Structure 1
Amino acid sequence: MDKFILRPEDELMHQPDASKNFNESVYTNGFDDKTGVGGWMRLGNRVNEGYAELSVCLYLPDGRIACQFQRPSITSNDKFDAGGLSYKVIEPFKRISMTYEGELIIVEDPDALRDPQPLFANGRRLPGHVSWTHEASSPMHGGEPTSDDVVTMYGRDFSLGHFNQHGRVRGRIKVGNEEWTIDGHGWRDHSWGPRYWQVIYFYRLFIGNFTNGDGFMLLKIADRQGYSRRVGVLLVDGQYEEITDLDVMTDWTTARDPARVRLGVRTARRKAVIEGEILKLAPLRNRRKADDQTLVSRIAEGHTRYTWDGREGYGMTEYIERIEGGQLAGYPL
């Protein structure tokens, strides 16, 4: 029996359950094949809490980051459209689009994102526009688990339903009077179910694309007891190969940020060594109050240039972990 089921209607909205923290979200990224310019956008509907999580993060050629993070109010889960960010399914499993129209905060020094209140209050802002279309270059991957004993990608208490896909991306980014064309590749996902970021003890996620259409999505995720899972796929000649093993080696900066990664990957058909250089890191965080505590997670979003068998491509490195007693849960692993 298949472990997951995925239906065309899963591209659309799902009925929220009674969980306070029900979240339905879409994420897309896209990078130009030649210049590497691009970024990512995410909209997560938390309708039972009355707001959406809006995130736009763009990596510009001169090293600046243009971003926006908001919690616009929503009253229903009937669409992805809040705060100027919208997502549309053009053809299920084959073509989607995502668009943002609104202000962008210009970040000259990414360290300002570590404690962002002054930046959000006083940072320079410019009008922005981002729009791109994803056309499938891979099968769909994931879905809803078919039984209670199926282990999902992030764990059963974090986005129970989840699917993702690599794609061909075309679009444009405009920040103030500057504009860039995106003609390249990217990745997208769609998830639904209860979600708190702090459920993740720590994980390392790697997403990459190459000009010939190959790519990968690789995840190492660990729990508080020290048990870790390694899941993901290599995309080769338009088909996904599930990984059977993954080794992750990270070079760190003095600020405990990932700077370079070396990935050893095995599938039933091949072995691969993939190296990544993090070109620009957005050191983000998420906070949540629970009883009399404030739980904090580091969410490090790295624009990354990858090398695989002599080919160069672009994508993302994402390191998420709890911060407890001032310590990063996963560092230096």
Structure 2
Amino acid sequence: MKDGQFVMLPRHELPHEPDGSRNFNESVYTNAFDTASPVGGWMRLGNRVNEGYAELSVCLYLPDGRIACQFARPQITSNDRFDAGGLSYEVIEPLKSVSMTYSGDLIIVEDPEALRDPASLFQGGQRLPGRAHWVHEAESPVHGGEPADDSVQTMYGRDFSLGHFNQHGRARGEIRVGDQSWTIDGRGWRDHSWGPRYWQAIYFYRLFIANFPNGDGFMLLKITDRAGRVRREGVLLVDGRYEPVLDLDVSTEWTGDRDPAFVRLGVLTANRKARIDAEILQLAPLRNRRRAGDEILLSRIAEGFTRFHWNGQQGRGMTEYIERLEDGNLAGFPL
């Protein structure tokens, strides 16, 4: 499959040969949310084989407001599979169906504010055995792929990933935490990327991912570099077809902790104008840190379980705000 800018073949579903860059990363991500109840979450595994570890992230939003999560850096020695630290990803049918499963301890977060001090949370937080599993079946085309040539801009920029694709789908599975369990019968979204990556390559961006009960959805990205240059990317999914975004406005209402609470989105495609409201129900205030010589580089990664309203429908999904943190200042706040 080739759309003039990107090439997407079944083999791109499988792990790629790492290049020589120390920070080569190959990442798979899925999210899934139940249609009938406010439960769901996301899982990500990013292989950094040239650094000898994988980035493991599991974040589950439970109906009572708790978050069950796990973050780890299990050791790996090859990039021939997505399977580390109890988290695994399987391609059932390329471009059509995948599954993701985590089995292991989960940290139970009663108050998301505890995530601002992860060292204390990881040391003394309550833990329960858990399992999350879901299967994604495609309900959309694949968006993205490998750039057709060196002139093509990638989704997040070539200093964050080279190849990248994503897809909306039907999601079914189960979440278990301790002796409680919840069924996932709804929809979700997935992506897969590969190439050199440091999180701090992102100056700031705002990402919105949603699914609606009738099968519509969207992925919307507004990304800004240090020089103030802005790109607006993404798609609306309408009646099983992707409509590329031509313009995107983002207006954020913030909490006193500088976290996003409510967002108003204006979207333009060749076929329609859309007004979308995003109410963040539960926020996981995460961060990423990296040592560069004698300097510690920090990024805020705010992951919000979100209820979206669009065209008379209510859907669920994720809001993700990433930005560099410099001298205590968030690069994108209050934009």
**TM more than 0.5:** yes
Output the CA distance in 2 between the equivalents of 1:110 and 1:23: 28
User: What is the CA distance between 1:232 and its match in structure 2?
Assistant: 0.3
Paired positions, count? 333
**Residue 252 (structure 1) aligns with:** 254
Question: Structure 2: where are the runs of 5+ without partners?
Answer: none
**Residue 293 (structure 2) aligns with:** 291
1:60-99 alignment runs, 5 A limit: 60-99=62-101
Output the CA distance in 1 between the equivalents of 2:248 and 2:41: 25
**Residue 154 (structure 1) aligns with:** 156
Output the CA distance in 1 between the equivalents of 2:93 and 2:148: 25
Per-residue CA deviation, residues 260-304 of structure 1 (Å, 9 max, x unaligned), is: 000000000000000010000000000000011000000000000
**Residue 321 (structure 1) aligns with:** 323
User: What is the CA distance between 1:186 and its match in structure 2?
Assistant: 0.3
**Residue 182 (structure 2) aligns with:** 180
**Residue 7 (structure 1) aligns with:** 9
**Residue 52 (structure 1) aligns with:** 54
What's the secondary structure of 2:122's corresponding residue?
helix
What's the secondary structure of 1:332's corresponding residue?
coil
Output the CA distance in 1 between the equivalents of 2:224 and 2:84: 33
Per-residue CA deviation, residues 160-182 of structure 1 (Å, 9 max, x unaligned), is: 10000000000000000000000
User: What is the CA distance between 1:36 and its match in structure 2?
Assistant: 2.5
Per-residue CA deviation, residues 62-116 of structure 1 (Å, 9 max, x unaligned), is: 1100000000000000000000000000000000000000000000111111121
**Residue 138 (structure 2) aligns with:** 136
**Residue 333 (structure 2) aligns with:** 331
User: What is the CA distance between 1:150 and its match in structure 2?
Assistant: 0.9
Output the CA distance in 1 between the equivalents of 2:321 and 2:174: 27
Say if 2:205 is the partner of 1:203: yes
What's the secondary structure of 1:100's corresponding residue?
strand
User: What is the CA distance between 1:148 and its match in structure 2?
Assistant: 1.1
Per-residue CA deviation, residues 8-62 of structure 1 (Å, 9 max, x unaligned), is: 0000010000000000010000000111210000000000000000000000011
Question: Structure 1: where are the runs of 5+ without partners?
Answer: none
Letter in 2 for 1:137: E
**Residue 112 (structure 1) aligns with:** 114
Letter in 2 for 1:171: G
1:230-269 alignment runs, 5 A limit: 230-269=232-271
What's the secondary structure of 1:79's corresponding residue?
coil
Letter in 2 for 1:89: V
Output the CA distance in 1 between the equivalents of 2:280 and 2:315: 12
**Residue 27 (structure 1) aligns with:** 29
Per-residue CA deviation, residues 179-205 of structure 1 (Å, 9 max, x unaligned), is: 000000000000000000000000000
Letter in 2 for 1:112: A
What's the secondary structure of 1:151's corresponding residue?
coil
Output the CA distance in 2 between the equivalents of 1:43 and 1:307: 30
TM-score, length basis structure 1: 0.99
TM-score, length basis structure 2: 0.99
User: What is the CA distance between 1:210 and its match in structure 2?
Assistant: 0.1
Letter in 1 for 2:27: S
What's the secondary structure of 1:260's corresponding residue?
strand
What's the secondary structure of 1:10's corresponding residue?
helix
The runs of at least 4 aligned residues of structure 1 exceeding 4 Å deviation read: none
Match among 104, 124, 127 for residue 126 of structure 2 = 124
**Residue 165 (structure 2) aligns with:** 163
Output the CA distance in 2 between the equivalents of 1:179 and 1:307: 28
User: What is the CA distance between 1:310 and its match in structure 2?
Assistant: 1.3
What's the secondary structure of 1:93's corresponding residue?
coil
RMSD: 0.6
